[in-house]
A and B are shown apart, each in its own frame.
Chain A
Amino acid sequence: MAMNPDTGPAAELGGYIDKPEGPITAAILAVGIGCFALGLLTTLAEANEGVKEFLNFYDPVGPLSGKTTWAVAIWLLTWIVLHLVYRRKKTESRKELAVSLVLIAFGLLGTFPIFFQAFAG
């Protein structure tokens, strides 16, 4: 729970002005989406030869080059868009954190070899 910035430790911080939590909410959601994208791309690349070929940006690295580049690009793009949406919102990020943790869990599942290798074509 956020404390009143006019009293207690906030007063000791000397003129600290509290900020809206919106940008944090946006960043938390973006990480969940980025991790989910990595898991999804990993599983799709295993399941479909065309996707694997598409993700092969650089032969010495193979499809890992595309999976990671796309996941990072999706994370950054999502972060920028969500930041613009949430930047002034005085949200509490509880619900978004829960959503993000579920997305991260799916991302972990999608990158778990026993799971994604089950989709091998």
Chain B
Amino acid sequence: MSLTHHEFWTLVHGMVLGALFLLGFAGGLEGLWALRPHQMTSAGIRARVLRLKIGTTAMAVAAWGTVITGTWIVYPWYREDVPDSPRSTLLADPATAEWHHFGMEWKEHIAWMSPLLATLVAFIVFYYGAGLVLHDRLRKTTLGLFTLAFGVAAIAGAFGALITKTAPLI
């Protein structure tokens, strides 16, 4: 059982950083959702904000790591001008060409919005810290932006998984 160099980086890009991203999102979402003053004590707020900082930072770091490894390491192998690259494989068959024309073209661009949004969320959480509990409107805004960051990454991730299934990078 072994992984090729390409498979290793595809794994890091999609699975390792993807898992960190999901964990960060789950932790951050729960933290933001429950950060309401009537639901906790001062000590509870502080403990939750610490977890919130960890969750949102993990998601932002994972989002940056995913797009940087995806664009600068994995993507050149995908689009390499050789007959057995995934791009060439997809375009060679009219039945799979749309995976490139629509799926990959959308994924490679939309994914880059996620780290911007995730960084914004982490910034808001660090800026206000425990004080975020006093700003319910901003907490809801942060929750919305956090979900948007996840949504665009989910679109990119889903297309990435489906394209890899159709034309794997070996």
Residues of B within 8 A of A99 (CB): none
* A57-79 interface (Cβ within 8 A of B): 58, 60-62, 64-65, 67-68, 71-72, 75
Residues 1-29 of chain A: 1 if any B CB is under 8 Å from the residue's CB, otherwise 0? 11101001110111010110101100110
Residues of A within 8 A of B148 (CB): 104
Does A114 reach chain B (CB closer than 8 Å)? yes
Does B9 reach chain A (CB closer than 8 Å)? no
In the complex, the chain A residue whose C-beta lies closest to that of B101 is A113
- Return B65 CB to nearest CB of chain A, in Å: 14
Interface pair A5/B112, CB less than 8 Å apart: no
Interface pair A31/B131, CB less than 8 Å apart: no
The 4 A-B residue pairs with the shortest CB-CB distance in the complex, in nearest-first order: A60-B76, A9-B37, A12-B42, A111-B109
Complex Cα gap A108–B42 (Å): 40
Residues of B within 8 A of A23 (CB): 127
Interface pair B141/A97, CB less than 8 Å apart: yes
Residues of B within 8 A of A18 (CB): 131, 134
Interface pair A13/B133, CB less than 8 Å apart: yes
* B98-132 interface (Cβ within 8 A of A): 101-102, 105-106, 108-110, 112-113, 116-117, 119-120, 123-124, 127-128, 130-131
Q: Number of A interface residues, CB 8 Å?
A: 48
Complex Cα gap A16–B124 (Å): 16
- Return A94 CB to nearest CB of chain B, in Å: 8
The total of interchain contacts (Cβ-Cβ below 8 angstroms) comes to: 112
Does B147 reach chain A (CB closer than 8 Å)? no
Interface pair A19/B37, CB less than 8 Å apart: no
What's the dominant secondary structure at chain A's contact region?
A: helix
New A-B contacts (20) at CB < 8 Å, excluding given A24-B128, A64-B71:
A2-B134, A2-B137, A9-B37, A14-B42, A16-B130, A16-B134, A19-B128, A24-B123, A28-B141, A28-B145, A34-B116, A35-B117, A38-B112, A60-B80, A65-B72, A72-B112, A75-B116, A104-B113, A108-B110, A108-B152
Does B79 reach chain A (CB closer than 8 Å)? yes
Offer 9 A-B interface pairs, CB within 8 angstroms, sorted by A.
Answer: A10-B131, A18-B131, A24-B127, A24-B128, A31-B145, A61-B71, A68-B67, A71-B112, A104-B113
In the complex, the chain B residue whose C-beta lies closest to that of A12 is B42
Interface pair B141/A35, CB less than 8 Å apart: no
Does B26 reach chain A (CB closer than 8 Å)? no
Does B135 reach chain A (CB closer than 8 Å)? yes
